[in-house]
Amino acid sequence: MTTFQIPDGWTAQAYRFALDPTPSQERAIRSHCGAARFAHNHMLALVKAVIDQRSSERSYGVPDNEMTPVLGWSLAALRKKWNTRKNTVAPWWAENSKEAYNSGLDGLARGLNAWSASRSGVRAGAKIGFPRFKPKHRVVNSVRFTTGAIRVNLDRHHVTLPVLGTIHTHESTRKLARRIEAGTARILSATVKYDGQHWYCTFAVIVEGKHGGDRARRSPHPVVGVDVGVKDLLVVAAADGTEIERVPAPKPLTAAQTRLRVLQRKAARQQGRWDQTTESRQDPSKRWVRTQARIAKTHARVANIRRNELHAATTRLARNHDVIVVEDLNVAGMSRRGGAYKQGLNRAIGDAALGRIRTLLGYKTTWNQARLVTADRWFPSTRTCSRCQAITKLTLRDRVYHCRNGCPPIDRDTNAAINLARLTLQVTGRT
């Protein structure tokens, strides 16, 4: 099966709009999300049953040609099997769009393929576990549409989705609508998701000629190095030693810890999904559900603050400079171990979303005709003196760099940003 190829001169982009559904529309959206979850859980149970059955038959010496037939893990195989069983296990399936069930099956197929590739060593990185069932009260409600009536309405304040119909949006959709009308954008899919506060519709789009155009840069320093951290989110410096910008880390999760601690302790005292007395699952109380909704809203606000700060800082960098040099940080490895001795640092690393910065700069530099350079993961930008190039060992608590050759003290983050900026001098010849 061939994969979709983005045409030359076009770029993939996403447009996200906050929805304002009516009560009946919200019920329909939740029904679609539940249908996706049901299809995922039902077919996962069937896959596990087939695996266990074949394992038992193999232990009894049953020949391979007489064993239970293998159930394919591809999306096409899972969808074909689901279509033969849906009238029996889900007689209500016609109430929702077929895309809802396809969304759940697609997630299951991706999870099974990732587990298989990780188990065989084909997939790099940490080991991927076997897919798990999605509980009703512990899963993010989302559903994806790839076919049917998916469009942005001409009035700039409504979107149309299959079966769900026309839904009002909180914000104007003119940025996407104008491109569609001009023929420079094409919608590939739409994903409806609940983040704990609002319903959002995200359009996966390909656009033509997405770039900022030729224009003069506002900064006199075209080449900069960017050092990221948990105390200061970004420290930007030029190769001549000038510190251009310092963006403090917003730390929204740290600011919300007091409220989260109160809500989570309250939820622990209420009747939740697990009864410790009988050690069994149970239907949660309405108060527990309301408390969980308040926890989700708090996390959604934290994510929105973090996202806004990251987008503002990276957009400013991509528009003002020609060449941006960043580090290739192993964020997952930085926060993997340490236990109780490192839980505060691990939380700060996650709160800063250090790995997200390079991803955002990756496509924003393309849009603004800039260049992103990634330094080698083992490049000692922090330990190297930006004046004499001597290497001095530092601990995490050392915020000022003291060179072992006696150079004047300098902020460690500024020193690292200067070293990163100088990486491209031999290539670009610019200062």
The catalytic residues are 227, 327, 413
For 280, phi then psi, to 5°, come to -150, 160
SS3 376: coil
Give me the DSSP letters along 234-303. EEEEETTS-EEEEEE---HHHHTHHHHHHHHHHHHHS--SEETTTTEE-PPPHHHHHHHHHHHHHHHHHH
422, 242 Cβ separation under 8 angstroms? no
Please state, in angstroms and rounded to a whole number, the distance separating the CA atoms of residues 38 and 107. 12
Nearest to 82 by CA among 133, 116, 40: 40
* Residue for token pair 């000038």: 242
For residue 384, give the DSSP letter. Answer: B
Question: 244: burial class by Cβ within 10 Å (0-12, 13-18, 19+)?
Answer: buried
Please state, in angstroms and rounded to a whole number, the distance separating the CA atoms of residues 69 and 77. 13
Please state, in angstroms and rounded to a whole number, the distance separating the CA atoms of residues 321 and 314. 11
Nearest to 356 by CA among 380, 329, 377, 382: 329
Q: How many helices (H) and strands (E) does the chain have?
A: 12, 16
Please state, in angstroms and rounded to a whole number, the distance separating the CA atoms of residues 417 and 411. 10
Please state, in angstroms and rounded to a whole number, the distance separating the CA atoms of residues 159 and 169. 7
Q: Please name the residues in contact with 264: beta carbons below 8 A apart, sequence gap of 6 or more.
A: 295
Question: 61: burial class by Cβ within 10 Å (0-12, 13-18, 19+)?
Answer: exposed
